[in-house]
Structure 1
Amino acid sequence: MATLIAIGYPDETTATAASQEASRLAKDLIIQPDAIAVITRDNEGKYHVTTNHHAVGGGATWGMFWGLLFGMLFFVPVLGMAVGAGLGALTGKIAKNAINKDFQERIRDELKPGTSALFMVVEAVTPDKAVEALSKYGGTVLKSSLPKETEEELQEALHGSQG
């Protein structure tokens, strides 16, 4: 089962530094994030999103996932592209059903003007390693598990069927 991890930081720069560390740890196989995104909110309240997609296929798909997720959480239109009906329905399902309301509210409360957050989708065997490795950056950690069925549908959309 995959876990969506969000770590909120009290400034605009720490999430970017933490994402660079997460990418380095992924190259060293210490953690295994499927996708990484950073969202910052400047002092005027405007959101800025940076993503680092999975290296094998599906980069645009992860972009759509983040776009719909952040759109739902913060009303931020991240993507200007049309989403295919099947993928749009899947991503909408993930955003609406897989992420509980408490998690959504806590994220919204955490990301005030002048702050940032790191988001990662991590396989269930490694979320604790990810959090431990990034603990030197501080921040508030929030986690939400993605249901197995939703994870399988997302993986199939990202990488094609395995059969």
Structure 2
Amino acid sequence: MNTLIAVAFDQKNEAAEVLNRLGQLQRDYLLDLEDAVVVTRDEEGKVKIKQSVDLTAGGALYGGLWGSLIGLIFAGPLGMLLAGGTSAALGAIAGSLNDYGIDDDFIKDLGNQLQPNTSALFILLRNAVEDKVLDELKDVRGKILRTSLSKEAEDRLARVLSGPTATVDNPAPTMAQ
């Protein structure tokens, strides 16, 4: 089952930076991202959404591959070019119309709630090695907007994102106190 996590950040570029780190964790096989979206809100309040999955390119590639193969089989090299080009265009159109991953309306609704000059990261996880991923993100600070995690897992993530609880003015209590 996939897991949705949406986290807000105080800085405009922070969500993109965290997504880059998650990309490295994915290359290290510590997590498997199905989809990720970075949302920023600029100083004028305009919301910008950057999808991590390019559906148009994927549809064009898939359509072009199958169209070329079918064209080659039934009409030779010329048919391969004609069918491949037509199928690539149709695949790009189909890919851009396909609603994949995180719901666009959900992203827009939460994005409109962001303060100016802040950002948010929406991720849809297939799988993750939780303890190692949380350890890698221990210096990241953010606020959970929404998750589909269990209450216990959400609490663990919230503790990591809130950072250390001890400060100079308010040290953590020790066992002797």
TM-score band, normalised by shorter chain: 0.5 to 0.7
The AA in structure 2 aligned to 1:68 is D
* Residue ranges of structure 1 left out of the alignment (5+ in a row): 76-107, 147-163
Q: In the superposition, relative to structure 1, how do residues 145 and 7 fare at CA in structure 2: closer, same or farther (>3 Å)? A: same
Aligned to 1:136: 139
Helix, strand or coil for the counterpart of 1:112?
Answer: coil
% of aligned pairs identical?
A: 29
Aligned to 1:6: 6
Higher relative contact order (CA 8 A, sep 6+): 1
* Residue ranges of structure 2 left out of the alignment (5+ in a row): 60-94, 150-177
The alignment's TM-score, normalised by the length of structure 1, stands at: 0.55
Shift of residue 24, structure 1, vs aligned partner: 1.5
Q: In the superposition, relative to structure 1, how do residues 18 and 74 fare at CA in structure 2: closer, same or farther (>3 Å)? A: closer
Q: In the superposition, relative to structure 1, how do residues 35 and 62 fare at CA in structure 2: closer, same or farther (>3 Å)? A: farther
| Structure number with bigger Rg | 2
Shift of residue 51, structure 1, vs aligned partner: 1.6
The alignment's TM-score, normalised by the length of structure 2, stands at: 0.51
Q: CA RMSD in A?
A: 3.0
Q: Distance in 1 between matches of 2:50 and 2:14?
A: 13
Q: Distance in 2 between matches of 1:127 and 1:46?
A: 35
Q: Distance in 1 between matches of 2:10 and 2:128?
A: 25
Aligned to 1:42: 42
CA contact (8 A) 1:51 1:63 kept: no
